[in-house]
Amino acid sequence: AQSVTQLDSQVPVFEEAPVELRCNYSSSVSVYLFWYVQYPNQGLQLLLKYLSGSTLVKGINGFEAEFNKSQTSFHLRKPSVHISDTAEYFCAVIDTGGFKTIFGAGTRLFVKA
Amino acid sequence: EAGVVQSPRYKIIEKKQPVAFWCNPISGHNTLYWYRQNLGQGPELLIRYENEEAVDDSQLPKDRFSAERLKGVDSTLKIQPAELGDSAVYLCASSQRVGMNTEAFFGQGTRLTVV
């Protein structure tokens, strides 16, 4: 069975500073990896995904993530955050043989002026 | 293209009352999911449909929860009777089964408060 651990429940950061949101997963099979963002009172929106190929994945809104198979990690980064990036971020995995998405508990990013 | 549509957005009911949520997936998406998201947690799958067939309902509390997807398009999730612990956001998502790319598109959710 797969599981996802988001190591930080909350990340406060000043505007224009860089940020990294950490995600580790466990799985006995190959997986696909996703990051979703959830703004207040909204559904989840896909930021980026890793299916295969280059381990550095670029997504929307200037976010990127790097798949590290040896460390079973998929950390999300942005070099300079904006106030509008304040939201909840969820890391998720799907095993390559199935269609069940397992979500982490989420990391609340709070960008301060 | 319209996204996943859910209604209602908010619902407040007294415990022991029934409640139903409705979801209309993106046109052409064969797979439909219902998730429950408790406060401060990630979504947890309740049930997954492939067309009109429920292929994974292992996490659905079948004593009080039921779901249907007649004709393989829109879907309804019902709770009867509701309990205080059912307060959560219920998210519907859909995906198009194209190869192994199973990106799910989410609706805005229904926030249920049981009092």
User: What is the reported pLDDT for A101?
Assistant: 81
Residues A65-107 have pLDDT tens digits of 999 999 999 999 999 999 999 999 999 998 776 667 889 999 9
pLDDT 10s digits, B3-31: 999 999 999 999 999 999 999 999 989 99
Q: What is the rounded distance in angstroms from the CA atom of residue B94 to the CA atom of residue B74?
A: 10
pLDDT tens digits, A49-74 = 998 888 999 999 999 999 999 999 99
**C-beta atoms of A43 and B42 within 8 A:** no
Q: Is the Cβ of B62 closer than 8 Å to some Cβ of chain A?
A: no
Q: How far apart are CA A44 and CA A39, in angstroms?
A: 8
Peptide bond into A12 cis (omega under 30): no
Is residue B2 very low, low, confident or very high in pLDDT (cuts 50, 70, 90)? confident
pLDDT, tens digit, 9 for 90 and up, residues A16-26: 999 999 999 99
pLDDT score at B100: 54
On whether any CB of chain A is under 8 Å from the CB of B67, the answer is: no
Beta carbons of A100 and B48 less than 8 Å apart: yes
* Reported confidence tier of residue B1, pLDDT bands at 50, 70, 90: low
Average pLDDT over residues B70-80: 93
